Chain A
């Protein structure tokens, strides 16, 4: 569901900000079925930030700070993908 916050996040997205950040993370090879369906750059960043064990659960969990959206579902639309990237860019973890 595209809430106001999701739409605002997507509007704030810039390719330059995201790629500057995402390019710092090495490529991750994974056999996990859920992660394999996600864009490589998102997986690389999340694994780099959270570690592989935590990521598998994290992408399937409703995130309160993201209007209870689930990342693996959210990224299936262009707006959702941009919003997810901006959210990840702002996580202080």
Chain B
């Protein structure tokens, strides 16, 4: 896959090597932290629902008589929670075992075999940070230097990803029966397939979501995106 829209962070000069194509951040076009905290939206109205347009009520109205029980209706509703993410994505990668650079937008053979927070071995997913701090904190949490030899941070601006399951949204977490703390523990390392995060990943994948928007476990307030099949995204 050709990386035509990525920027590369140069730690020596502390700047990105290309001008950010997004011109909404004021005069400093090399800025890497947007001042706008609202960088994804929910076309369904789920995350900003008012008492007049409650999506759960709308769903029930539209599917009246279709389900045998409320529980059945809730299970069906859980499959319709997709939101659209719009903004930048950051990813830090190293080298392939043969010394060639990892393609940041492809599932490498060893990624497929690894055990990640939302994707157990055999379930593919690429992990991105919503900003550079998230990526740096996560790489550093393993005592690895994100700017060490052979490592590169790729930045994709103005990315739009539809149908994401947003677990940063407390309402979505409540509906899914999970607490934020369940998503931040390292249980996935010791309970493969049974950990809450693995179950959320499996649910999202099995129900056709493009991926997940999740709280960072390494940076308080940080946000990660997990995308199951990067080929579906226009980077």
Contacts and interface: CB of A to CB of B under 8 A. Distances in A.
Interface of A: 5, 8-9, 11-12, 17, 20-21, 24-26, 44, 47-51, 53-54, 58, 61, 63-65, 86-87, 89-93
Given A51-B149, A90-B116, A26 B97 contact: yes
Nearest to B121: A17
A93 B121 contact: no
Interface in B85-110: 94-98, 109-110
A72 to B, nearest CB: 13
B97 A24 contact: yes
**The 8 residue pairs across chains A and B that have the minimum distance between CB atoms:** A48-B97, A8-B190, A21-B113, A90-B189, A90-B115, A12-B190, A25-B97, A89-B115
Contacts, number: 82
Interface centre among B94, B142, B144, B188 (most CB of A within 10 A): B142
A25 B144 contact: no
B189 A12 contact: yes
Looking at chain B's contact residues, the main secondary structure is: loop
A26 B99 CA distance: 11
Contacts of B144: 50, 54, 58, 93
A50 B113 CA distance: 17
B28 interface: no
Nearest to A11: B190
A20 B192 CA distance: 15
